[in-house]
Chains A and B, each alone.
Chain A
Amino acid sequence: MSLFRFFASRPAPATAPVARERLQILLAHERSELGKQPDLLLQLREEILAVVSRHVALDPDKVIVKMERGKHVSTLEVDVELPNGFERKLAVAS
């Protein structure tokens, strides 16, 4: 009986940390997806792609521009995937 009472009176587990974690994951995703300034990101991506393509042939889908908002600073992440062997082409060109 005392064992039963022990379980019955146990407080419900804290759910706020779960809420917090779910929100952090979801919002990180939504912020990058929607972009805080979609037009700016799109423009940046186009211009970066144009500059890099002048020197290296690349797949336009392999240029990824992301913005993350932090408390004090935001970061701009630019990820450009280059095809293998591009260095040789650069050497030939110069």
Chain B
Amino acid sequence: MAKVLVVTSGKGGVGKTTSTASIGAALAQNGQKVAVIDFDVGLRNLDLVLGAERRVVFDLINVVQGVAKLPQALIRDKRLENLWLLPASQTRDKDALTEEGVGRVITEMRNNFDWILCDSPAGIERGAMLSMRFADEAVIVTNPEVSSVRDSDRIIGMLDSKTVKAEKGEPVEKHILITRFDSARAARGEMLSIEDVLEILAIPLLGIIPESQDVLRASNVGSPVTLNSPASAPARAYSDASKRLLGQTIPMTVPSERKGLMSLLRGRRAA
């Protein structure tokens, strides 16, 4: 039975799609059977980041409307046999996504995967609400910057009230993923620190992804960074974050920056 994990943020451009692709790939590299679903109807990009843009035939809305069967729409990754993509529709009306339809697709997928990662669109409209609706867990992608932190706070409130789990009185397990972190700038007091973000949002930390050129290079060629340059700092950070999702205890570090700055934060996740 799969775990349904929504990757969300409220704000756009913080790294939801990159993080979905990278965590999805890293989980698959760890032997998990993973499906990633793009909920950004009209502005799909997960296909592009995963290098599958020319293989899209059917999409999520086709499946919701019964035009195509789920196995016809799922695209298997060419490099990772455990990774599958269900793309968003690029042309159709956003209202074509219904709660009942999305629920049906996710229920069908739950039996066939270990993880279902839902890549939320930005904002708090229909697509974003439906991407979190059936989630068991949530990764809230946050940049150490005021507008991103504020929007994350708003999304946390919605995860606690608008999901099926929340309505049943069960908590959605929430994790913060800080992306585009620059430890040198944070040390100089130019950027919110990890401690600042965690204290304000009061959610456990899943990982710290450093600002890095490797992320852009990977999306340029359509390959998740954990595959494209596995030894790079962001790839190691995503890989560690994925292992934490699998329940492993990995010391919290900013990869490439192994000099004690993060020693303070060790064990923070346990709190």
Contact = CB atoms under 8 A, between A and B. Distances in A.
B74 interface: no
Contacts of A13: 189
Interface of A: 11-17, 19-20, 22-24, 26-27, 30-31, 34, 36-39, 69-71
Interface string B116-150: 00000000000000000000000000000110011
A34 B186 CA distance: 31
B188 interface: yes
A1 B188 CA distance: 27
A23 B146 contact: yes
Given A27-B200, A31-B153, A20 B161 contact: no
Contacts, number: 51
B161 A17 contact: no
Given A30-B153, A70-B202, A36 B160 contact: yes
Interface residues of B, number: 20
A23 B154 CA distance: 12
Contacts of A12: 190
A23 B95 CA distance: 34
Contacts of B86: none
B93 to A, nearest CB: 29
Given A36-B161, A69-B202, A71-B202, A17 B189 contact: yes
Given A37-B160, A37-B161, A27 B190 contact: no
A22 B149 CA distance: 11
Contacts of A38: 161
B146 A34 contact: no
27 contacts: A12-B190, A13-B189, A14-B188, A14-B189, A16-B192, A16-B193, A16-B196, A19-B145, A19-B146, A19-B192, A20-B192, A20-B200, A22-B146, A23-B146, A23-B150, A26-B150, A27-B150, A27-B200, A30-B150, A30-B154, A34-B154, A34-B157, A36-B157, A37-B160, A69-B202, A70-B202, A71-B199
